[in-house]
Structure 1
Amino acid sequence: MPSAIFEKALTVDMNNSSMRISVAADLNLDPKSLQLLPIFHFADISNSNLSRRFDIYSAEGLLFPDFSPPRFQMDSKYKIGHFLHNADVFFTLNKTSGSSLPPLINALEVYSLIRMDNLTTDSDDAKYIKEVKTHYNLAQRNWNGDSCSPREYSWEGLTCDYSKSNQNPRIVTVNLSTSRLRGGFAISFMNMTSLENLDLSHNNLTGAIPDYQLQSLKFLDLSNNKLDGPIPDSILQRFQAGSLDLRLEGNPVCSNVKDTYCSKKKKKTTSTVLIAVIVPVVLVSLLVVMGILWKLYWKGKSGDDEDSAMYEEETPLHIDIRRFTYAELKHITNNFQSIVGKGGFGTVYHGTLENDDEVAVKVLMETSIAESTDFLPEVQTLSKVHHKNLVTLQGYCQNKKCLALVYDFMPRGNLQQLLRGGGNYSLNWEQRLHIALDAAQGLEYLHELCTPSIVHRDVKTPNILLDKNLVGIISDFGLSRAFNDAHTHISTAAAAGTPGYIDPEYHASYQITVKTDVYSFGVVLLEIITGQPPLLMDPQTVHLPNWVRQKIAMGSIHDVVDKRLLDQYDASSLQSVVDLAMNCVENAAIDRPTMTVVATRLKGLLPAVSSEKQSASATPRRTYSMDSEIPRQFQLMISGASNGGSSFQSGYTNGMSQTSLFSGR
């Protein structure tokens, strides 16, 4: 155990004679086959010369009789091969009759035995991937234990090949995209002879590109780094031969290179033999194709004329952004081929403009402004506001064929998708705080810096988009409304927004203020902390703020934290964010902070997170953390009993539970 663990201890009052620790296994562990190994850690650092002796019991009987923890030394107690078989076990530390001091404990680990059927990772691959971990200081990743075994706990970002049942699994894919890598390349990658896909894009890698002479490598993505060195001939030759998919766009090395590996569009290389086969076929069918194209040309011409006629029939909006024709939308979306989202408003398609910029095209269900209540407010709002945390409107389409809005495309989807486990990527605590600050700054701009002020009215995680660098961007302004300083609120005919995010005062009176957005943002903050939806079935429908209050009241603040964080977060910043979120969801609008206050408080948390992260190796920080090898699988409860029958309960006090000194695995 790390020595810092032994610098703190949990004990009971001098009048108490017993300490009881209850351990409850999570539901994902099968109680029928459960085999638990407890390990107790002790170090008595008190200056007292009085004796401290106690017996340690489990639910099945005495484990360690008459134990006396050594003073100013570390000692761990466990029994090899002695497993407990109950999902709800408890341990009791009883003061002996000859002891002057009550029992204490510094840490408790409880291991669950896992039978592994598959073999461990190939020894060379295991060695080199651990060298990569050390090279890039990937301490925050879930990279502990064996990299591929067991399969359920394989390292994040790795894909292993288990196809050969009698051989050790090999690492075939390493994805460290957007992992804040710095410095040069880890040479260890070049020694992983089974590696097929390597993605190091969107980092801060510098220097030259190494000579990767791995015949197994089929895909190498080094885009959006700071690489300025030459491209090795061996890599270029494999790329030109079609055996390696190379991506280098967004690097200084591409400043004077025009080849396809330095652009977003990828050419499909074709061998000479294949061309020799295709050319005769093309020549034979050329006349037929020309006839078809001639017909399609006149048909398309007719369609363009039809679209132009519809374009003229609608009165244009007098705003300074591009107006697309329906034919242009069909072209940039490849005839509306790629759907990236759907909702009550309509469908969102992926598209590419003439300059290769990627866009999202939101086609509304309604086909006229008279039918749509969202189109005009969104166009008018986004044509006036410009902020790095608000989505950019590239243009719109308005004719009898359709109503559509064209935005910048956000490649990382929306916040709800990442919080609910979309894909294999999980946001860490610092990333979540950054995204929360991004959204807060966007709302602050709408509330404080726009004239007149703008209320979004539909702040929720699906409307917080994420660009390639995980910057939070607020979108969907169809419900937004502006009001002058002379008005404290606006009355609307009906409630608008999404269930779970609606301000209780607004829900009752239909009167919106900037505090309407603050309430919704508070729910978003709770989603960021918990990973839970705004409305839970538990088993009845429970509103997320109430669920958080109940969890904290019944146990610890740490019980509400998203399990995907693997308990890797700073306890003090967690407490601050929970307090801020609960402040935002106060029932009375007057009790809620402004978005300026919210943004300021979130901004104040981030430097502390970053600085503590950098100095963690030098100075122990008070963090509720655990070994990140697997998610926490046990819940702990500690209580003490005195000779007189009074009791002591650990619980939620000043944001820190006294169980926070324990690490459960």
Structure 2
Amino acid sequence: MAIVYGYLTSTGARLGLLAFQMLLAASMIQVHAQSPAGFVSIDCGYTNSSDYVDEKTNLTYDSDERYVEGGKNFSIRAEHMKDAANKQEQTLRSFPDGQRNCYTLPTDSGKKYLIRATFTYGNYDELNSSKNGSPFLFGLHIGVNFWTEVNLTNWNPSNTVWKEAITVAPDTSIHVCLINLESGIPFMSTLDLRPLQDTMYPFVNVSTSVSSFSRLRFGSVDELITRFPTDPYDRFWQSWANYSYPWSNMSNIINVTALPNIDIFGLPPAILGNASTIIDRYSWLNITVRSSHYLTTELELLPVFHFLELGNNGSRRTFDIYNVDEQQPLFSNFTPPAFLSSMFRNWFLHKGRRAYFQLRSTPNSQLPPLINAYEVYSRVQMNVTTASSDVESMKLVKEKYKVTRNWNGDPCSPREYIWEGLNCTYPNGDQNPRIVKIYLSNSGLQGELAISFMNMSSLEILDLSHNNLTGTIPDYRVNSLKVLDLSNNKLHGPIPYSILGRFKAGLLELRLEGNPICSQVRGSYCGNKKTHILLISVIVLVVSILVVLCILWKLCWKGKSKEDNDDNMNEEEIPLHIDIRRFKYTELKTITNNFQSIIGKGGFGMVYHGILENGEEVAVKVLRDTSIALSKDFLPEVQTLSKVHHKNLVTLLGYCQNKKCLALVYYFMPRGNLYEVLRGGLEYLHESCTPAIVHRDVKTANILLDENLVAMIADFGLSRSYSPTHTHISTVAAGTVGYLDPEYNATFQLTVKADVYSFGIVLLEIITGQPSVLVDPEPMHLPNWVRQKIAKGSIHDAVDSRLMHQYDATSLQNVIDLAMNCVESASIDRPSMTDVVIKLKECLPAGTGEKQLKSGSYKQKDAMDADIARQFQLLISGVSTESNEGTSSGVTELSSPSGR
């Protein structure tokens, strides 16, 4: 622990400080020989069975073996070991399997805790994932709730990211879960749990947790990060450490130690005993916390200011604290007292991507403002979890049968991470989700039937068939149970009356066939002769089908060699006069390895992966057995498309014109199509091509993605040339259900607005993650589904849940409005593609194009908690932060100190 002091003038003061340091050091030896009660310190990936004491903090660290299931242990690479600030950074646990992997931490129900996770990549997997240019990020959940995102893209592999949250434990344990977002393998280096006093952070409760975005201490401080034992709650305090003009730093730790313990935030003397101000000639300072383009979501922010007067020499210091964005004071005429004052409002500020505060001297103030410490948090909305009785029952089932499935965290929530083998119901309001169906067939279960299923009062279906369960059937008195499938186990009688009675009353479907119990009874629940006859019939039918297929295969194979010989004979003699390559059918067979690898299927035909002679990858779209009439209609379109070139249109490399086969050869798009990912180029076609082109089949499956996720429109098999001087062209309606313009479908009158309609559907698919036509619980067109969601709730109910609320709500609302405008029934009410492009650019969140910020770690100067260096920037009295990597992490518009 380092004690730093500023200007102490008397010898007595210096001796007093020395005595205080010695006393504090002696007390640390006695008090901190072991971790405080309730501290949980986990070294993820540490494989030694015995714990160890960290040499800097004197905290005891354990292996994570008993806190988590799954994952693999790793050490960071040798070249990064020298940069590790502590032993915990040298190891980690990686989770390559499963979407959600959770640590379970012991807690006292209803108690308030600080949770911190750290992440030191250290290129442990030798993939250079943080430096290869691809996105490297994953999510974090507290229980069922999205906490934050860990973004290591373009991150120094030696540096450490940390995330902190404050929450109330809902039960005797709390889950911290890593979420695989398919942009890198999640991992964790350390996980800490620290109990807080119930009075601390009063804005945290059972329904609201907070995520820490910034926690700063001011004054002349040598430590980059201050933590335990200086802070008894082991919070990470980043040092502001800015000594340049017009800053002035103050220190008076001794006086702080004599203060009564009245602080609801529990700040230690070392934090309170230092402060920063500006020289007398200036009257205000700014504090700006602003997100970079790495963070596009709007946040509900809550700032906390900590003030303590460290020596005003009898002069008056009074200032106002303004929320500049809302042009209103948060606190007026504030004078820092000789005892601690923590200033906060018990509500969150408006949603936004920045917070801008100003400490402004009042006219009668003789001294400029000062500040000792500052914290800012964002809201983590806590959602309801699965009913505790169901959770406890499933825990007992998991333990009893040693279930090896990826059962982590809450069984039912969030919905996208529901436990495999479960179905849940999600009531409206604040009611807890309930488990209604359990499917554990063929799961290798052994032993007697668990009685814990009886405690699940909403359970409707229990399928434990095809396992090795033994013993008798428990008296399952679950009135909600409709199906009990225990077939093909090793169970014996008797059958409990409660179960048998519900079966006879027609309230329960019971299946017991394949158990010893059925040798003693002849009930229909044990199967009958009709079942065996039906099984034999099915087997005979399957065998017959296989015989017929074998015969057909032989006939096809016999004719194959003759077909190959005729390939060259079927080439069309009249070539197209275009400047792209013409492929022979035999060449396509060589390129595609005889059409072995299918990568897509569309209205035009099958799409195959191919490799040209020079090693270049291509996509070959083939329509076999095409009639000559269709070929005459299609090939002139190829002539038009061969002249179309745009960065967002897939380039046509060549074609094949064979009497038996028409084919198009395109550049291969390695990232597939947009439809696959969910689950630009049109303006050029409409406005810049001569003649203009209507695509007629715009859909997510026809928007391909290259390795950099640049979108390119493909599949011009249905496209038609179009003259802007005509209002429409007449043609047979064609396209894909769900994307088809209703006006075009009814009148067969084609305009460019047909593509606009289809593009509107594509926009809605991107936003919602839903298909163009939903089928469950009943068929519904996507625009109608969006209208219903918004009418019953808000836009957030329509947004893809995988975005985890990480988006700009205002921008998203504008995009939804634009998409709904595109799918108007009448084409005259739809915008042009040019208008769509303009409006989409306007919808981009502010700052999207700003220069990417450099990242920091807690081993660096001006480092910020949990990649805040990329998410947030601090501006105080016009002096921007300076990155230790030589680039500015301040904003481009600088505030100058003003007012005298």
> Given the two structures, how large is their TM-score scaled by the length of structure 1?
0.47
Larger radius of gyration: 2
- Larger RCO (CA within 8 A; separation ≥ 6): 1
Greater helix share, structure number: 1
> Given the two structures, how large is their TM-score scaled by the length of structure 2?
0.36
Greater strand share, structure number: 2
